[in-house]
């Protein structure tokens, strides 16, 4: 497994992972597939991106993690291909992410997780994130109420 900073050339593979997760549903608040340009701008090279890392196994990009400024906080998103989840990619990426954002002076990270996303809630708890707020009435565009839990991790 190789963990490294994301580059512009990773955007297409990152998009493939994200759109596969969106298509399956249930573990992301993203509901509409993204283009490679959107992923590049929002998660790799955009002005609000603080960190972006990828995981490769045998030259296949299997996951990515990005931290970006949103509402004056550093928000983290983690996406791992469904066929390889819970095999250590998320934890490995988080180590590089923490190193990167710590060097940038980011004091804490925020993860906003759908309340029905049990794998995501377990992952962020394992990484040391703790609950600080919730939105029990958070709904998808369909009106389906899924709730959302906000967790925080102190980097420094």
Per-residue model confidence as pLDDT tens digits over 58-84: 989 989 999 999 888 999 999 998 876
Q: Please count the structural domains in the chain.
A: 1
106: phi then psi, degrees, rounded to nearest 5: -75, 120
| pTM as predicted | 0.88
CB 79 within 8 A of CB 67: no
CATH code where residue 134 lies:
3.40.630.30
Q: Would you say the C-alpha torsion 150, 153, 155, 156 has a positive or negative sign?
A: positive
Structural domain for 44, as ranges: 2-154
Closest CA to 85 of 104, 57, 48: 57
Q: What is d(CA 46, CA 49) in angstroms, rounded to the nearest whole number?
A: 5
Per-residue model confidence as pLDDT tens digits over 135-149: 999 998 888 898 999
Q: Burial, 58: exposed, middle or buried (Cβ in 10 Å; 0-12, 13-18, 19+)?
A: exposed
């Amino acid at each position: 497994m190789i963990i490294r900073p994301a580059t512009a050339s990773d955007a297409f593979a990152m998009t493939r992972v994200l759109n596969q997760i969106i298509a399956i549903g249930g573990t992301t608040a993203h509901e509409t597939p993204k283009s490679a340009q959107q992923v590049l701008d929002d998660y790799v090279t955009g002005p609000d991106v603080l960190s972006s890392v990828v995981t490769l196994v045998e030259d296949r990009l299997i996951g990515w993690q990005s931290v970006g400024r949103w509402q004056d906080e550093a928000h983290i998103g983690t996406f791992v291909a469904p066929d390889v989840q819970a095999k250590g990619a998320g934890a490995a990426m988080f180590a590089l992410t923490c190193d990167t954002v710590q060097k940038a002076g980011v004091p804490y990270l925020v993860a906003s997780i759908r309340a029905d996303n049990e794998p995501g809630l377990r992952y962020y708890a394992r990484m040391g994130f703790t609950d600080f707020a919730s939105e029990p009435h958070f709904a998808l565009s369909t009106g389906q109420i899924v709730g959302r839990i906000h967790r925080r991790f102190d980097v420094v």
